Every structure is written in structure tokens, then in C-alpha cells.
Amino acid sequence: MKHLGVKFAAMALALGLGVTPALAEKVKFEFWHGLSGDLGERVKETCDKFNASQSDYEIVCTSQNGYPETIQNAIAAYRAKKNPAIVQVFDVGTLDLMLSGAYIPAKKLMEDNGYKIDWDNYFGGIARYYADSKGVLNSFPFNSSTAMFYYNIDAFTKAGIDGAPQTWEDVEADARKLKSAGFDCPLGFSFDSWATVEQFSAIHNQPIATKNNGYDGLDTELVFNKTKVVDQLTFFKKMTDEGLFQVKTAQLGMDVVPAFASQTCQMIQSSVADHGTIGKTIKPGTKWAVTMLPVWKGTERKNSLVGGASLWVLKNRPEAEYKGAAAFLNFIAQPDMVEWWSTVTGYIPVTKTGFDAMKANGFYEKPQFAGREKAIESLTYTPAGDLTRGIRVGGFPQIRKEISNAMEGIFFGKMTVQAGLDQAVERGNAIIRRFEKTYAGQTLN
């Protein structure tokens, strides 16, 4: 009987061990992101897909309704030790996270959890934005994009224009033809620093700031008031005064993307990420296309900058959550997920294998996705150089606001182009000095 009791006990233990995993609660962990609307829904769908793919973890994804809000809320939560495991941080918030010391480097996280990642598989122009001085990624590129030029083929045909504009001289000529053909708004634009100042500077190899756009030290200073940006905004002002370009902002009733999708304006600069939204909202049957941003004649074009955001894993969470975070980050890096994400959003694949798989599957040959590959062409047009790997300037989210304010003053006739840019640089440098003081004694890794 004793042996029988032991046998039953062993069986019970074995059965208990067998059912424990099925009965165990999933490890929950949080992911905060800054996307909303249609793109926010796609993030939710990504999280749902991960949760359905396995039974060990449950990711809880919450929108903070904007990139600036996300980083602000995450920092506050970190200080209160209530932060999420993963946070989405937009491109120009990279420096804040790097200097915070509040994160677990991407490479360490994956190695600690047994994942082998080919870090060289990431496109160089994307990876270098989020890497340290040794090329090691601190965060995971996620929703990557770059600025593109959208144009309405039907309107071009009516105006007698053949082909996409390659230069800004072409854009001016096309705008005049469109105006003559009866189109009230040949080109719409907003007070967006990203496309008009930052991306323009990169492809024209112009500095935004000293110290190689801040990569070589926190003591950088802004210089875009002394570069071709002055000429570009002067050109935009001239074209606006002639009624060939129009300001389109949400505050004025219609932003640039809906202005293009509604065919109010026939040309815009915007993110490739908006490709999906335009495809869903423009009148069915409309012929339109996207190409790389124009350059001025005689320019030796350089690669454009990566936009969007990357995913950072924050400290202060239980080890079990990090296993879940690593599993999620590995999940979204798989080629099938890379293609799905690009399909439903417009964001570009961040890895070479993901891009190659999409090409092999004929993704870019489908009419609704045609042209998105030009974003990769733009980002990889040249190897990323000192002025085209990114902008690593302290307080740049606030500096963007100063540039936007200056553009508003310029285009509403309150100040000259030079005065507006001088003001943005002066106020921006004051922001940099405050940032530098906050992180006094720290160096970029």
C-alpha cells in the first residue's frame, strides 16, 4: 500500500506538472505608442496578432495620442516606477532616451533571452539613426518612413505634364501649368520642419547643426539659417505669393494629406506612411503616384533621413516581462509580419530580408502599393554620411516647434525668411543650451 500511495502521489505530481502551464496566467506587459487613428488601429492589430500567436504572454498596447506625449508620459512613469516595458519613441526623441540611461539596449535584451539577430540585416540609413557610435542598436526600428513627393497623374495629364518632377525647377514649371489648367492649388504644404527643412537639408547635404548634426557632441549649434534652407523657403514664399503654392494645415481647416486625397491640391510633400491612407481615401479610379523628393538642379543627391519611430525597452520591469518583450520584438521582425505591416500602413520594411521578400512576392508590382519602394531608394540613395545619418540635437522636438512658428510668421507675412529662420535658430540654440546643462558631464556613446 505504501508503494501504491507513492505511485499515486507521483502520478498526481506528474499530472499537476502537466497542467500547470495551461493554467498559469499569461505574463502581461505594456507597450505605449504615439500613433492614433488608422495607424493606431494597425498597432492594436499587431498586438492582437502577437497575443494570438502564443500562450505565454499578453501585450497590452495603449496609445498616448502623439509622439511628444508618449515620451513625456513614459519619462514621468519611469520616474514613478510605473513605466511600460516597451515605449515607442519618435526619431528626434532618440537622444533623450540615449542619455536617460533608462533603457536596456536592444542587442543585450535579445542576447539575454536567447534570440540571434542579424543586426547587419537592418538598412544602414535606418540603423545608424538609432545606433551608438560603435554601430550597436539601442532600440528597434519599427515604423520607419521618409518624406516623399505625391502628385496627381490625372491632373498632370490634363495640364499636359508628362512624368514626375525630379527637380524643384520642374515643380515650379508643373505648378504654373496646373494653375493655367484651372487647378486652384497646384501644391499644398504645411509648416512641417521634417519635410521642408530636415529632409531637404539631408538630400542637399546641408547641415542642420554643427558637430555633424549633433552626433559629435551636446555643444552643437543650429546653422540652418545660413544654408540652402534660406533659398528654399524664399522660393516657397515666392510661389505662395503667386498663388501657386498654398498653406494647408489642420488649423486652417485642411491638412496636406486630406488636401491631396480630396484632390484640392495636386502635389504635396509627406511621409510614405501616408501612402496607405491616401489610397483608402482618394476617389476610386484616380491616378496618382509618389516619387522621391525633388532636388535643385546641379545637386549631388544624398540619402534622405529615416522618420517614424523605434521601440525602446525600459528598465524597472520584472524579468518575465523582458522575456515577453523580446518575444514580441522577435515576432514583429519576421518577414511575414514585416510585409503585413507595410501592406496595411505604408511604412517601409526596416530589414533587407523583409524588403527582398516583399519584392519576391510581387508586393510593389500591385497598383495600390506601387511607388513605396522609392522610399527605400531614397533612404539608400547613398551611404549615410555625417549630415545624412540623422539629427541628434538636444531638445529637437521643441526646436521643431520653433521652426514651425517661424514658418507661420514667414508665410503669413509677419517676418522675412531670414528673420524667421534667425529667430528659430536663436530660440533653438537656447533650448540646446538648457538640454546641455541638464546632461552636463555626459557624453554620447
Q: Region 202-225: what's the mean pLDDT? A: 96
| Domain definitions of the chain by residue range | 14-145+306-365, 147-304+394-438
CATH superfamily of 147-304+394-438: Periplasmic binding protein-like II (3.40.190.10)
Answer whether residue 112 shows pLDDT above 90: yes
pLDDT of residue 84: 97
Q: What is the tens place of the pLDDT at every residue in 8-55?
A: 344 344 434 444 444 579 999 999 999 998 889 999 999 999 999 999
Nearest to 348 by CA among 391, 386, 305: 305
Q: Region 280-289: what's the mean pLDDT? A: 96
Question: Are 24 and 320 contacting, i.e. CB atoms less than 8 angstroms apart?
Answer: no
Q: Region 118-146: what's the mean pLDDT? A: 85
pLDDT of residue 345: 85
Kindly give the interhelix angle for 335-345 and 319-332, rounded to the nearest 10 degrees: 70
- CA atoms in the 13 A half-sphere facing the CB of 383: 2
Answer whether residue 73 shows pLDDT above 60: yes
Question: Are 87 and 71 contacting, i.e. CB atoms less than 8 angstroms apart?
Answer: yes
SS (H, E, C) the chain: CHHHHHHHHHHHHHHHHHHHHHHCCCEEEEEEECCCHHHHHHHHHHHHHHHHHCCCEEEEEEECCCHHHHHHHHHHHHHCCCCCCEEEEEHHHHHHHHHHCCEECHHHHHHHCCCCCCHHHECHHHHHHHECCCCCECCEEEEEECEEEEEEHHHHHHCCCCCCCCEHHHHHHHHHHHHHCCCCEEEEECCCHHHHHHHHHHHCCCCCEHHHHCCCCCCCCECHHHCHHHHHHHHHHHHHHCCCEEECCHHHCCCHHHHHHCCCEEEEEEEHHHHHHHHHHCCCCCCEEEEECCECCCCCCCCCCCEEEEEEEECCCCHHHHHHHHHHHHHHCCHHHHHHHHHHHCCECCEHHHHHHHHHCCHHHCCCCCCCHHHHHHHCCCCCCCCCCCCCCCCHHHHHHHHHHHHHHHHCCCCCHHHHHHHHHHHHHHHHHHHHHHCCCCCCC
Cα Rg of the chain (Å, integer) = 24
Q: Region 213-240: what's the mean pLDDT? A: 97
- First-to-last C-alpha distance (Å) of the chain: 69
Q: What is the tens place of the pLDDT at every residue in 245-255?
A: 999 998 899 99
Give the span between the Cα atoms of 274 and 268, in whole angstroms: 11
C-alpha cell at 205: 547635404
Give the span between the Cα atoms of 419 and 109, in whole angstroms: 47
| Residue of higher predicted confidence among 49 and 118 | 49
pLDDT of residue 17: 45
pLDDT of residue 276: 87
| Residue of higher predicted confidence among 11 and 340 | 340
Give the span between the Cα atoms of 215 and 95, in whole angstroms: 10
pLDDT of residue 14: 40
Question: Are 214 and 392 contacting, i.e. CB atoms less than 8 angstroms apart?
Answer: yes
Give the span between the Cα atoms of 351 and 76, in whole angstroms: 32
Give the span between the Cα atoms of 420 and 276, in whole angstroms: 34
Answer whether residue 264 shows pLDDT above 50: yes
C-alpha cell at 364: 510593389
| Residue of higher predicted confidence among 335 and 267 | 267
The domains spanning 14-145+306-365 and 147-304+394-438 adopt the same CATH topology: yes
Give the span between the Cα atoms of 131 and 39, in whole angstroms: 25
Cell 496566467, residue?
A: 25
pLDDT of residue 445: 66
Q: What is the tens place of the pLDDT at every residue in 351-406?
A: 888 888 889 989 999 988 999 999 999 999 999 999 999 999 999 999 999 999 99
| Residue of higher predicted confidence among 122 and 10 | 122
Answer whether residue 1 shows pLDDT above 60: no
Give the span between the Cα atoms of 403 and 363, in whole angstroms: 37
Answer whether residue 7 shows pLDDT above 50: no
* Domain spanning 14-145+306-365, CATH architecture: 3-Layer(aba) Sandwich (3.40)
pLDDT of residue 126: 84
Nearest to 278 by CA among 153, 363, 113: 153
pLDDT of residue 19: 44
The values of phi and psi at residue 219, to 5°, are -85, 35
| Residue of higher predicted confidence among 208 and 342 | 208
Express as a percent the part of the chain with pLDDT over 90.
Answer: 73
Nearest to 185 by CA among 249, 267, 73: 267
Q: What is the tens place of the pLDDT at every residue in 151-188?
A: 999 999 999 999 999 999 999 999 999 999 999 999 99
Q: CA-CA-CA-CA torsion for 93, 94, 95, 97, nearest 10 degrees?
A: 90
The band of 100, judged by pLDDT with boundaries at 50, 70 and 90, is confident
Question: Are 196 and 269 contacting, i.e. CB atoms less than 8 angstroms apart?
Answer: yes
Give the span between the Cα atoms of 170 and 261, in whole angstroms: 22
Give me the amino acid identity at 29. F
Quick one: CA dihedral 263, 266, 271, 272, positive or negative?
A: positive
> What residues pair up with 314 in beta bridges, in sequence order?
103
